[in-house]
Amino acid sequence: MCDGVVAHEAQILSCVQTTGGEVPTGAARLSAHKLLWYKRDASWNQFALFLRGDVEFSLTDEQQQLRRTVRAFAEGEILPHVMEWDEASHFPTEIIPKLAEMGFLGVIFPEKYGGAGMGYIEYAIIIEELSRVDGSMGIIVAAHNSLCTNHIYKFGTEEQKKKYVVPLAQGKKLGCWSLTEPEAGSDAGGTRTSALKKDGRWLINGSKTFTTNGHYADVCVAMAVTDPAKKSHGISAFIIEKGTPGFRPGKKENKLGLRASDTSEVVFSDCEVPAENLLGKEGEGFVNSLQILDGGRISIASLGLGMAQGAYEASVRYAKQRKQFGKAIAEFQAIQFKLADMAMEIEAARLLTYQAAWLADQAIAAGNYDTRFTRESSMAKLYAGEVAVRVANEAVQIHGGYGFIKDYPAEKFYRDVKLCTIGEGTSEIQRLVIARQVLGKG
């Protein structure tokens, strides 16, 4: 039998050949955990290669340089405007071209489609570093990349990819993704927005809520019911362009946090879209959305991770500077314990987040785009989101009264992080998802 862990690559290759398996041309021999993927009987099998008996957790030189580059950009271009944009609920259209120029609006897409050709580890780093300065920037970039553009990239036709993914990945257009409705939140299968075939076109009616980038997006991917009898298998995805008659943004939400990002309704009133704007197979839009959310939850985990890191660093700075009873409050054990717990939980969240991102990268490298990493992405999203809330709460506490006023960053982090336990599946839904995976019901 040729299963389990094999000690040497030569043994695996011999084993695969002996049992009739096929090693695809350019099969990825991946460095992080030394995984070799090969195709056998139309299913993917995985062998662990322990060539040196070690596991590498450090980032590559290129990834470390990317972190420095994003951090410098965020601190130079975003930080000076954070409170101004937050107070005014100003969507920073002026920063979008700069995000595009840096390649942040097409991180995970191949260069042939206008993207930066990077992976999910790099994507997580970018979202983390942007969010360390301002979570609003992180969520603008995340919704555009991993939801709207990724849905078209993963399930669109070649024509749709050329028409939409290319300008989206280049940052020439901004994207949004609409699944949630007023009566279909955690129960996303309860979608009521409808799409009916009429004279070779689709007629869409209904409304979506909590759509990130809704007012400013040039391209919207939205889910609508095409066959009510099939329930969740009767929901399809559509691509709708800005300016399409019958399609418009609705109410802009006045939010607790992440106020520089746009969250709004989108409304469809006898909105006609061409038949070729059906995205994926008819009736598979909801199923495809669940796959898209695997990557989307890595985004939210990275968002929470970045904001937690920002709140933690602000707390360390303040604790070293603030003096009470004749010494810096960092000298008091009560504050030290808080900082220690914050640092520990952030690092644990980072490992979960990067693990999920790494698994996404390995699936892509292996050419197996149907691989799911649902459990790991849900764990990362759940833990990182809740860590962000705990860290931000402690940041306010460490700052004391100054944590309650806008002269210090603690209060903004406190407001912003709560979204991470709600967006793209609440903490309660994540626990259900994880439990189903653990019990084999996923």
Tell me which residues are annotated as active site: 424
Among 218, 36, 28, 42, residue whose Cα is nearest residue 119 = 28
For residue 143, count CB atoms less than 10 angstroms from its CB and return exposed for 0-12, middle for 13-18, buried for 19 or more: buried
The token duo for 14 is 């011999």
Task: Strands of 62-185 (E only): list them.
Answer: 175-178
Q: Are 196 and 229 in contact (CB under 8 A)?
A: no
Alpha-helix residue ranges (DSSP H) falling in 189-332:
285-321
Structure tokens at 261: 């990002």
Residues 6+ apart with CB under 8 A from 242: 217, 218, 219, 220
Question: Token digits for 94?
Answer: 């002026």
Nearest Cα to 201, choosing from 271, 282, 283, 274? Answer: 274
Sheet strands (E) in 41-174: 43-48
Report the alpha-carbon distance of residue 387 to residue 345 in Å, rounded.
6
Cβ-Cβ contacts under 8 Å for 79 (sequence gap 6 or more): 133, 134
Q: How far is Cα 85 from Cα 80, in angstroms, rounded to an integer?
A: 10
SS3 222: strand
Give the integer Cα–Cα distance in Å for 36 and 47.
6
Where does 151-218 show beta strands of DSSP type E? 175-178, 194-198, 201-212
Pairing of strands 278-279, 219-225: unpaired
How far apart, in Å, are the Cα atoms of 362 and each of 49, 284, 319, 352? Answer: 14, 25, 41, 15
Determine contact, residues 301/377, Cβ cutoff 8 Å. yes
